[in-house]
Amino acid sequence: MTTIRDVAKKAGVSVATVSRFLNGSGYVSADAAKAVTEAVEELEYELNPVARSLNTKRSNLIGLILPDITNPFFPELARAVEDVALSYGYTVILCNSDEDPKKEKNYIETLKKKYIAGFIVTSNQLEAPHYANTKLPIVALDRAINEKIPVVSSNNKEGAVLGTNALLERGCQNILFLRGPEALNPANDRYDGFMEAIGQADVNHRIVTCPFHYADSQKIVERELQNDPGIDGIFASSDVSAAGALKAAVLLGRKVPDDLQIVGFDGIAMGEMLSPGLSTVAQDVYKMGAIATRVLIKRIENKPVEESFYEIPVKLVLRGTTRSVE
Amino acid sequence: MTTIRDVAKKAGVSVATVSRFLNGSGYVSADAAKAVTEAVEELEYELNPVARSLNTKRSNLIGLILPDITNPFFPELARAVEDVALSYGYTVILCNSDEDPKKEKNYIETLKKKYIAGFIVTSNQLEAPHYANTKLPIVALDRAINEKIPVVSSNNKEGAVLGTNALLERGCQNILFLRGPEALNPANDRYDGFMEAIGQADVNHRIVTCPFHYADSQKIVERELQNDPGIDGIFASSDVSAAGALKAAVLLGRKVPDDLQIVGFDGIAMGEMLSPGLSTVAQDVYKMGAIATRVLIKRIENKPVEESFYEIPVKLVLRGTTRSVE
DNA sequence: ATAGTATGTGTAACCGGTTACACATAACCC
DNA sequence: GGGTTATGTGTAACCGGTTACACATACTAT
């Protein structure tokens, strides 16, 4: 392996000059620059990032902490993070937290020792003391950790208004709202949006809390549909719940969208594959991940970050579970 | 930050002794061991992995190279890899290759410089010269790179026999087989299995090559169903294709499973959410990932690896797209 | 002419571990 | 008793970079 000393020898300069040239730090004359460039070329020198890390206490590693990559919401996010990270020369470490603060903390400690450059955190934990006192750059998704940590999230409330209105405009008179877990910020924002929109309409509605879990949602909706056969619209706080609702509706013989219309929230790929296709409030997950990563890298590189709160617009995607508006 | 020298001083021994104790290498007396243990405890010393890496030229980083985490097959695999890696003290770096040899190679080179411990490679590229000459431990998924690299794959051929027979036993007389891309080993094995099973039956069949892509599969199947309305069974080489087939069938008004039965291959979570639920030949993706990771870690740690070829059994999962057998 | 600043470079210490080697003592064997 | 081997430890070099500091020269301003 060729080292910086080999390069220095070949170029006839000192290692300090080589290092300065390579890092663009300090003064290097044109002559020296040329000699070093040539030596690097000839020796096919490549800098050893581990050696560098050891004394700069920095690296180009980014930790991506998310609850579970298996949750269909996260792969696209991870993909975005990885794409952007790669384009800036960073490498992504995947950390499934299972929403367990111990696991999160453990990862943070472990990766700190590796001089990790920063973290992107998608966690549902509302309290996160272990993030607060870290000096490391962090960007949060969907959840504010504290004022100093930038947050990227969807415009959840507006999305919920959009989704609710989609059902109202299509004539729903008896709407079931599947509220997400109360511990989740985004779920609460969606709830607020639903309440706002429904408050301005004169229709029946019922609110049920429902985890972002397929089978559970299906069961809950089956029960609700049996209790109240008059339900003609369901707005679910997640696509997975909406898929469960659709399944329940089909099993109970409801005609979707004729007798019952369903709108989900998230915009995961699966929605398109259902029959009928799932109407949903689609988040731009890729964009969220990409922006979060760019902001993180700016912070890592001490470049100015304009804002600390990024709200990504959502988009209503109408497919088969809603009727065309008359 | 406390260093090994602080510990040595506190324990009244040399750094060499501390290092030997910490690594379990060389001789360390009981007295010295005790003194070091106590010093470590008191100083809350934690070894710096970067410094260690620099001269051992090793790390506890594992590279996971896969085509695209967004493909529903991979999240579960990634999850398994991460779980097992974590339990052995390794950390996973996520690499989306897009099946582009340049990207793969780039990742390998980049991570080699970080002294990565090994790679798990899920690639569809049949040729992979850049893996062959690496001295790094590698485990391949679904595809043989060369004789020295262990492979973990599903029992694809047997799975295809299972899936085909499921349709035959349920009375299908005119089966459409959606063959996967010819560049993929697993797809070819599934093709072989289909051919074997169909060869022993006296039914019509037709084979169409079809990418593992939802919308494309849907289009292809729409066309096929229109050309030959007599098709009463579809065996798809992937669940995504099966989902496309199901969508096509629904759009064309075919009754599934009464007039047309469908079986997929993969066992991704989405299959359950479709209506009717997708019958499929399920791979144990988590197990594949877990085994691959364990084998890799054994190789990394120079422990004996029994075999170099692991075939994980598949399981026929019958849901709503097939009838109950009469 | 002279101080002061900008430019340019090299030496050597340092980051925090590992390990080759030298050396010392104890145990074992014939 | 003397040679071998096993046990135990410390010193210092090394992994491959970065950077503080000292020093040298060129340019600018007064």
A265 is written with which tokens?
A: 């929230």
CA separation for the pair B185, A109 (Å, rounded)? 41
Q: Is A75 on the interface with B (CB under 8 A)?
A: yes
Average pLDDT over residues B248-270: 96
Report, as an integer, the average pLDDT of A87-94. Answer: 98
User: CB of A127 under 7 A from strand C?
Assistant: no
Task: Write the DSSP symbol of residue B253.
Answer: T
Please, which pLDDT band fits residue B272 given cuts at 50, 70 and 90? very high
**Paired residues of B121 in beta bridges:** B65, B140
pLDDT over 90 (residue A306): no
CB atoms within 10 A of CB B74: 25
How far is Cα A27 from Cα A306, in angstroms, rounded to an integer? Answer: 31
Q: Does A3 touch chain B (CB under 8 A)?
A: no
- Residues of A within 8 A of B94 (CB-CB) are 64, 78, 82, 92-94
A326 has pLDDT over 70? no
Residue A286's SS3 state is helix
Which residue among B50, B82, B113 sits closest to A114, beta carbon to beta carbon? B50
User: Above 70 in pLDDT, residue A132?
Assistant: no
Q: Which residue has the tokens 């990565």?
A: B116
One-letter amino acid at A305 equals V
Q: Which nucleotide is nearest to A5 (CA to C1')?
A: D16
Find the mean pLDDT for residues A15-38. 96
User: Cα A24 from chain centroid?
Assistant: 34
pLDDT in tens, B154-213: 999 999 999 999 999 999 999 999 999 998 889 999 999 999 999 999 999 999 999 999
Contact between residue B132 and residue B145 where contact means Cβ atoms under 8 Å apart: yes
Residue type, B189: D
Interface contact flag, A50 B113, Cβ < 8 Å? yes
Nearest alpha-carbon partner for A180 in A161, A194, A198: A194
Locate A144 and state its tokens.
Answer: 């504010």
With beta carbons under 8 A apart, name residues in chain B contacting A50: 50, 53-54, 59, 113-115
Handedness of CA B312, B315, B321, B326 (dihedral sign): positive
Q: Which residue does chain B place closest to A277, by CA atoms?
A: B247
pTM value is 0.94
Distance from CA of B199 to the nearest CA of A (A): 32
Model confidence at B307, in pLDDT bands (50, 70, 90)?
confident
Listing from the earlier edge strand, what are the strands of the sheet with B61-66?
A309-312, A151-154, A138-141, A118-121, A61-66, A91-96, B91-96, B61-66, B118-121, B138-141, B151-154, B309-312
DSSP secondary structure code for residue B238 in this structure: S
Q: Output the pLDDT for position B42.
A: 96
Residue numbers in B near A83 (CB within 8 A)? 96
Average pLDDT value for residue range B16-24: 96
CB–CB contacts below 8 A, A to B: 116
Query: Could you give the percent of chain B with pLDDT greater than 70?
Result: 96
Closest Cα partner for B213 from B262, B263, B247? B247
Closest CA to B24 of B14, B33, B11, B15: B33
| 8 A C-beta contact, residue B44 and residue B37 | no
Closest CA to B283 of B66, B72, B64, B65: B72
Q: Are B60 and B267 in contact (CB under 8 A)?
A: no
Give Cβ neighbours of residue A55 (< 8 Å, ≥ 6 apart): none
CA distance A77 to A88: 17
**Which nucleotides in chain D have some atom under 7 angstroms from a protein Cβ?**
7-21
DSSP count for chain B of H helices, then E strands: 13, 12
Cβ separation B273–A272 shorter than 8 A: no
How many whole angstroms separate alpha carbon A150 and alpha carbon A309?
6
Q: Which residue of B has its CA nearest to A249?
A: B275
* Phi then psi dihedrals of residue A212, to 5 deg: -80, 65
List B265's β-bridge partners, or say none: B281
Q: In three state form, how does the secondary structure of B62-118 look? A: EEEEECCCCCCCHHHHHHHHHHHHHHCCCEEEEEECCCCHHHHHHHHHHHHHCCCCE
Return the percentage of chain B with pLDDT > 90, whole number: 88
Q: Band the pLDDT of B60: cuts 50, 70, 90.
A: very high
Q: Distance from residue B305 (CA) to nucleotide D24 (C1'), in Å?
A: 62
Q: Residue holding tokens 């019922």?
A: A206
pLDDT given for residue B308 in this prediction: 86
Interface contact flag, B96 A76, Cβ < 8 Å: no
If pLDDT is split at 50, 70 and 90, which confidence band does A130 have? low
Domains present along chain B, CATH in parentheses? 4-39 (no CATH), 61-154+286-312 (3.40.50.2300), 156-283 (3.40.50.2300)
Show which positions of strand C are touched by protein (CB under 7 A): 7-21
B 210-249 residues inside an 8 A Cβ radius of A: 214, 240, 243-244, 246-247
Closest partner CB to B51 (pick from A54, A214, A240): A54
Burial tier of A61 (Cβ tally within 10 Å: 0-12, 13-18, 19+): buried
Position B125 scores a pLDDT of: 62
Question: CA B223 from chain center: how many Å?
Answer: 32
What's chain A's average pLDDT? 94
Q: How many CB atoms lie within 10 A of CB A180?
A: 24
Predicted pLDDT at B314: 98
Using CA atoms, how far apart are residues A251 and B294, in angstroms rounded to an integer? 42
Does residue B1 lie within 7 Å of nucleic acid chain C, judged by its CB? Answer: yes
Instruction: Look at residue B130 and tell me whether its pLDDT is greater than 70.
Output: no
**Helix (H, G, I), strand (E, B), or coil: what is residue A15?**
helix
The percent of residues in chain A predicted with pLDDT above 70, rounded, is: 96
Distance from CA of B110 to the nearest CA of A (A): 9
> What pLDDT, on a 0 to 100 scale, did the predictor assign at position B183?
86
User: In this complex, is the C-beta atom of A70 within 8 Å of any C-beta atom belonging to chain B?
Assistant: yes
User: In this predicted model, what pLDDT tens digit does every residue of A193-252 receive, in sequence order?
Assistant: 999 999 999 999 999 999 999 999 999 999 999 999 999 999 999 999 999 999 999 999
d(CA A35, CA A29): 10
b/e sequence B225-251, b meaning 16+ C-beta within 10 Å: beeeeebbbbbbbbbbbbbbbbbbbbe
E-assigned strand segments in A61-127? 61-66, 91-96, 118-121
Rounded to the nearest integer, the mean pLDDT of chain B is 94
